[in-house]
Amino acid sequence: MKKINLVYWRADEKWDNFGDALSRVIVERLINKDKYELVFNEPNVATNLIAVGSSLQFARDGYYIYGTGVRVFNQPKHYTTLNVSAVRGPITRHYLSDYHGIPCPDVYGDPALLISRFYMPKNIPHLNDKIGFVPHYSRQGNHKQCQFYVINPCDDWNHVMDQIYSCKYIISSSLHGLICADAYCKPNLWLDENIEGGNIKFCDYFLSQGRQETCITSLDHFNEDLLYRGGNIVNLDALERAFPFQQ
């Protein structure tokens, strides 16, 4: 049985950021378990895959790329060849094909969008009239006195999904807070907190959705009129078919 190593960011063995944890969740559900053995962040594996998140900087020659995205344009580059089946959005495709000459299909979408096909969240009734706020994991300690219902991005991924699904609206400075809100058609709004690495990943995702880059820079500026209500428009069938280890 061929071993496939999923490379994804993890802070340590004690906790995951839910967006990064979704890489493991999605790939576990897509991979052909009769043909492949899936491992995680193991060294010295011949076949490596990167999926959910802004993790292109982890790629090395010959890696498989499925829906990941570029974080910054001047990131270190350790590859000249990649096996690309899908990317997060047009900016990543432009970065790979035009800047580095790497063939890249126009199949767009962060694979975390597929979570709606694999997990039906549990409704939490007392949150149905709440506005949920998903901070970036690096800023979660900054919002303890927030006027909104704060969703801990380092909780178990399924609990985060339950809370996003249950709230009336979502505000998020975490990209995957917005992506998962879109996956479950939950109206949402981007809080731009000048996260390290800049806003390329947000712009990349928004372009894939044909979505305007509407944001607020303070929770005090929340206005229902600014909410994005379009949900996901990426072709999920095409995104799912692009996964390279189904057959």
In the chain, what are the domain boundaries?
2-114+236-241, 118-226
Lowest mean pLDDT among 5-9, 25-29, 66-70, 72-76: 72-76
User: Is a pLDDT exceeding 80 seen at residue 196?
Assistant: no
Q: What are the residues whose beta carbons fall under 8 Å from the beta carbon of 199, sequence distance 6 or more? A: 192, 213
Residue-level length of the chain:
247
Q: Give residue 142's pLDDT band: very low, low, confident or very high (50, 70, 90).
A: low
Helices (H), the chain: 18-30, 90-94, 100, 115-118, 157-166, 175-183, 200-209, 236-241
Tokens found for residue 111 = 């694979």
Q: What pLDDT, on a 0 to 100 scale, did the predictor assign at position 11?
A: 65
Helices (H), 31-170: 90-94, 100, 115-118, 157-166
- Give dist(CA 168, CA 128) in Å, integer: 5
CB atoms within 10 A of CB 58: 18
The mean per-residue pLDDT over the stretch 31-49 comes to: 97
Give the residue carrying structure tokens 């996901």: 232
8 Å CB contact between 157 and 177 = no
Tell me what the pLDDT averaged over the chain comes to: 93
Q: What pLDDT, on a 0 to 100 scale, did the predictor assign at position 167?
A: 98
Question: Which is nearest to 1 in space by CA: 38, 51, 29, 42?
Answer: 38
The mean per-residue pLDDT over the stretch 220-243 comes to: 97
Lowest mean pLDDT among 11-25, 87-101, 148-162: 11-25
Q: What are the residues whose beta carbons fall under 8 Å from the beta carbon of 158, sequence distance 6 or more? A: 119, 121
8 Å CB contact between 152 and 174 = no
* Bridge partners (DSSP) listed for residue 216: 191
pTM: 0.95
Quick check: helix, strand or coil at residue 108? Answer: strand
